[in-house]
Amino acid sequence: MRIVQLASEFAPIAKAGGLGEVVVGLSRELLRLGETVEVIIPKYDFIDVKKLVDIRLDLPDFKCVEHGNPHTNSMWTASCEDIRIHLLEVRHPSGYFHRGEIYGCKDDAARFLYFSKAALTYLKLIEKPIDILHLHDWHVAIAAVLARDQFNLPIKSIVLTIHNGEYQGKCAAWDLDAIGLKGTDYLVKEKLQDTDPKHPKLINLLKGGIVYADAVNTVSPTYTKEILTPEMGYGLESTFYKHKNKLTGILNGLDLQLWDPGYSKTDPIEKILQAKEAGRNRLRRQFSLSNTRRPWVGAITRLAVQKGPELLEEALIQTLRLGGVFLLLGSSPTSQLQAHFEAIGKKYSGTNQLLLHFAYDETLSREIYQALDFLVVPSRYEPCGLTQMIGMHYGTIPIARETGGLKDTIIDCKAEGPQTNANGFLFSKYCKTDLNEALERAIKLFFTHPQKINTLIANGIRKDWSWKHPAQVYLDWYRKQVETSRKSEQISQKVN
Would you say 187 or 300 has its CB closer to ligand ADP?
A: 300
Cβ proximity to ligand ADP, 204 vs 331, nearer residue: 331
- Ranked by CB distance to ligand ADP, the top (closest) residue is 18
Rounded to whole angstroms, how far apart are CA atoms 170 and 164? Answer: 14
Nearer to ligand ADP, 301 or 455 (CB): 301
Which residues does 19 contact at the CB level (< 8 Å), separation at least 6? 7, 8, 9, 136, 137, 163, 164
**Cβ at position 11, least distance to ligand ADP in Å:** 8
Contacts of 356 (CB under 8 A, 6+ apart): 328, 330, 341, 342, 344, 345
Contact residues for 149 (Cβ-Cβ < 8 A; gap 6+): 181
Element (H, E) at 80: strand 69-80
The nearest distance, CB 182 to ligand ADP, in angstroms, is 34
CB of 328 to ligand ADP, least distance (A): 9
Which residues contact ligand ADP by CB under 6 A? Answer: 17-18, 21, 300-302, 329-331, 360-362, 365, 384-387, 390
| Closer Cβ to ligand ADP, 18 or 183, answer by number | 18
Which is nearer to ligand ADP, 175 or 382 (by Cβ)?
382
94/306 with CB nearer ligand ADP: 306
Nearer CB in complex with ligand ADP: 300/443: 300
CA terminus-to-terminus distance, the chain: 28
Least distance CB 6 / ligand ADP (angstroms): 18
Q: Are 454 and 269 in contact (CB under 8 A)?
A: yes
The whole-angstrom separation of Cα 266 and Cα 458 is: 10
Q: How far apart are CA 481 and CA 292, in angstroms?
A: 57
> Which H helix or E strand runs over 69?
strand 69-80
Whose Cβ is closer to ligand ADP: residue 114's or residue 326's? 326
Considering the complex, state which of residue 1 and residue 356 has its C-beta at the smaller distance from ligand ADP.
356
69-80 vs 83-91, strand pairing mode? antiparallel
Between 159 and 219, CB nearer to ligand ADP: 219
**Minimum distance from residue 72 beta carbon to ligand ADP (Å):** 33
Contacts of 262 (CB under 8 A, 6+ apart): 275
Contact predicate 251/384, CB 8 Å: yes
253: CB partners within 8 A, 6+ apart = 25, 26, 29, 465, 466, 467, 468, 469, 470, 471
Give the shortest CB-304-to-ligand ADP separation in angstroms: 8
> Between residues 14 and 179, which has the closer beta carbon with respect to ligand ADP?
14
Cα 343 to Cα 305: distance, rounded to the nearest angstrom: 18
Find the helix packing angle between 137-149 and 108-126, rounded to 10°.
50
What phi-psi label fits residue 82: left (phi over 0), alpha (psi between -120 and 50 degrees) or beta? Answer: left
For residue 492, the minimal CB distance to ligand ADP (Å) is: 40
Q: How far is the CB of 361 from ligand ADP (least distance, A)?
A: 5
Contact 258, 363 (CB under 8 A): no
- List strand residue ranges (DSSP E) for 227-303, in order: 247-249, 296-302
Nearer to ligand ADP, 16 or 172 (CB): 16
Closest approach of Cβ 195 to ligand ADP, in Å? 23
State in angstroms the smallest separation of the CB of 8 from ligand ADP: 12
Distance (Å, rounded) from C-alpha 390 to C-alpha 253? 10
Long-range CB contacts for residues 410-414, cutoff 8 Å, separation at least 24:
411/459, 413/441, 413/445, 413/452, 413/456
Closest approach, Cβ 380 to ligand ADP, in A, equals 11
Supply the minimum distance, in Å, between the C-beta of residue 160 and ligand ADP.
17
